[in-house]
Amino acid sequence: GFRVGQGLIERFTKDTSRFKDELDIMKFICKDFWTTVFKKQIDNLRTNHQGIYVLQDNKFRLLTQMSAGKQYLEHAPKYLAFTCGLIRGGLSNLGIKSIVTAEVSTMPACKFQVMIQKM
């Protein structure tokens, strides 16, 4: 996921102007990046303005097929590991070192928590 994220960001940002700040980069990830990869924008982006961002997708494409029952809820985070790598790789190529974790409380919704690591 990490390597794929790096490659995708290279391709998507070659024609865009430079980003002003961290929040600008996260908005790009939520709108343009997510739309290109998953055919929809992130539903909600929240931040505490101290380097933690929460990206919420209420109908995540990779979980919609298995969201029929509760029996898959405990296995759902395994399917989000690739996407965590995708986000982390994309941010890495934009100069942001981060830790990305995912959580699923109700399917097919999920939250990705991005913790920015200051260099």
Domain of residue 99, CATH code: 3.30.1380.20
DSSP symbol at 119: -
In the block, residue with structure tokens 């029996």: 71
The CA-atom distances, in angstroms, between 55 and each of 109, 115, 119 are 11, 11, 22
Quickly state the pLDDT bin for 67 (edges 50, 70, 90): low
Q: For the chain, how many structural domains are there in total? A: 1
pTM for this predicted structure: 0.90
Q: What is the pLDDT of residue 76?
A: 82
Range of the domain at 44: 1-12+19-116
Mean pLDDT (whole number) for 104-114: 90
The residue among 57, 63, 34 whose CA lies nearest residue 111 is: 57
